[in-house]
Chains A and B, each alone.
Chain A
Amino acid sequence: MIEICSDVDAAVRGIADGATVLIGGFGRAGMPFALIDALRRLGPRELTVVNNNAGNGDTGLAALLAAGQVRKVICSFPRQKDSWVFDGLYREGRIELELVPQGNLAERLRAAGAGIGAFYCPTGVGTPLAEGKETREIDGRSYVLEYPIKGDYAVISAYQADPLGNVVYRKTARNFGPVMATAARTTIVQVTEVVPVGTLDPEAVVTPGIFVDRIVKVEARSYTVQGAR
């Protein structure tokens, strides 16, 4: 059953200490700022957060990190010119990092959502990121065994949704949203617009409602590429 939440605080309820939260976005594009702010107000701690990055500037994911709510980050690209919050926590040993090649991050989420137990992947073979992992030669090529990343919650941002939970995204803000939506027990989506059933072109729906649990309408995009909110 899809729930249309009255506000973002209602949308994030139940996210508890120690939860694994898949947070959409690539840098700021597609980052669910309003839901992350609600998560900060809710205050669960010891979270494991999965995102491509580890926060930019002082808002969104970076603010959640700064609030001391995150124990571990699973991401592909933490170090950026505006990742000072993560950098500080990491250097002080106050946050754990699991570094995952970007494509493996996406595929491990996809595997979780598709019920795949594990998969052999050529990315990272012969590199430090494959050390200690099972490898196998298939048709003359080497592969590394990679396991799914399941989330307790997925917290993502999209453009439009209908009350049946069908979701469409905008441009490159789509990024991790569709795979994360499949990979969590509870998927929470913030959208700019909730449209009536029958409005979305069924051919253009990217995330079908079966993958979505809660929807909440937020103010139109609340971020800029420069980072000012």
Chain B
Amino acid sequence: MTEPTIEHPAVENTDRGPLTTDELAAVIGRDIPAGAYVNLGIGQPTKIADYLPTGEDGNPTCILHTENGMLGMGPAARGDEIDPDLTNAGKVPVTELPGASYFHHADSFAMMRGGHLDVCVLGAYQVAANGDLANWHTGKPDDIPAVGGAMDLAIGAKDVYVMMTLFTKKGEAKLVQHCTYPLTGVACVSRVYTDYAVFDIQPDGVHVLATYGITLADLRDRVNVKLLG
């Protein structure tokens, strides 16, 4: 799934953006290849399910994995469809699509660790220029840590995409030279989708693929990481 180095310059969209969560989910959804096995993390990435390319049957062209033990996950369940034995990783009732399969946890995580899962999309507190990911723990002493499947997904999926706002509420960029939060995985993120820009992390550095509501020059001013075109 790893694409060769992309040499095209960043697309500056100064007339649209920053993107809303839904708009960002749509941008990511369009980039999910048909036939891929995909895990959408808890929280914002779950929204991407509404924007996946669909086939003639109206179902997504990719196959959704939920780490609690299912491939071929369908949309959220409503009304009579709600079955307490059928939930996603966020414990929300979901449905099954034709061709779905169930499996136990060791198999589910073998799908990640064994390199079978094509794409996962995770939220993040911070991403470093080398692809380090921090998304499980703020490190504050009174914070109860919870990791779930984040570390397994981070090192297991062939492509790890991050979906996040680019800036904290204080205006600090979450794309950083070095993460200050505890790490989830080392050099594992390949692409960072944010409300202001999309970044591709490659061996030669961080490339900007697109900006939204900001010029490349202003983006370089606000993000303390060397940004290639």
Indicate if the CB atoms of A26 and B148 lie closer than 8 Å: no
A79 to B148: give the CA distance in the assembly, Å: 10
Residue interface bits A100-144, CB-to-B below 8 A is 1, else 0: 111111110110000000000111111111000000000000000
A108 (CB) vs chain B CBs: closest residue: B106
Cα distance A109–B93 in the bound complex, in angstroms? 26
Chain B interface extent, by class: 35 or more
Residues of B within 8 A of A121 (CB): 113
* CB atoms of B105 and A179 under 8 A apart: yes
CB-based contact B146/A78 at 8 Å: yes
Taking the closest CB of chain A, its distance from the CB of B152, in whole angstroms, is: 3
* Cβ proximity bits B160-202 to A, threshold 8 Å, 1 near / 0 not: 0000000000000000000000111110000000000000000
A169 to chain B, nearest CB (A): 8
Verify B91–A27 contact, CB threshold 8 A: yes
Residues 158-181 of chain A, each 1 if its beta carbon lies under 8 Å from chain B, else 0 = 000000000001111111111100
B219 within 8 A of A: no
B46 to chain A, nearest CB (A): 15
The answer to whether B151 and A101 have CB atoms under 8 Å apart is yes
User: Beyond A29-B87, A77-B147, A79-B144, is A102–B105 a contact (Cβ under 8 Å)?
Assistant: yes
Closest to A221 in B: B84
Give the interface of A toward B (CB within 8 A). 26-30, 52, 76-80, 86-87, 90-91, 97, 99-107, 109-110, 121-129, 169-179, 206, 221, 223-225
Top-3 shortest CB links A-B: A103-B109, A103-B152, A106-B105
> What are 26 residue pairs bridging A and B, where the CB atoms are less than 8 Å apart in the complex?
A26-B68, A29-B87, A77-B146, A78-B145, A78-B146, A90-B144, A102-B105, A103-B108, A103-B113, A103-B152, A103-B156, A105-B105, A110-B106, A122-B155, A122-B156, A124-B151, A125-B155, A126-B186, A127-B182, A127-B185, A127-B186, A129-B147, A171-B83, A171-B85, A171-B86, A221-B84
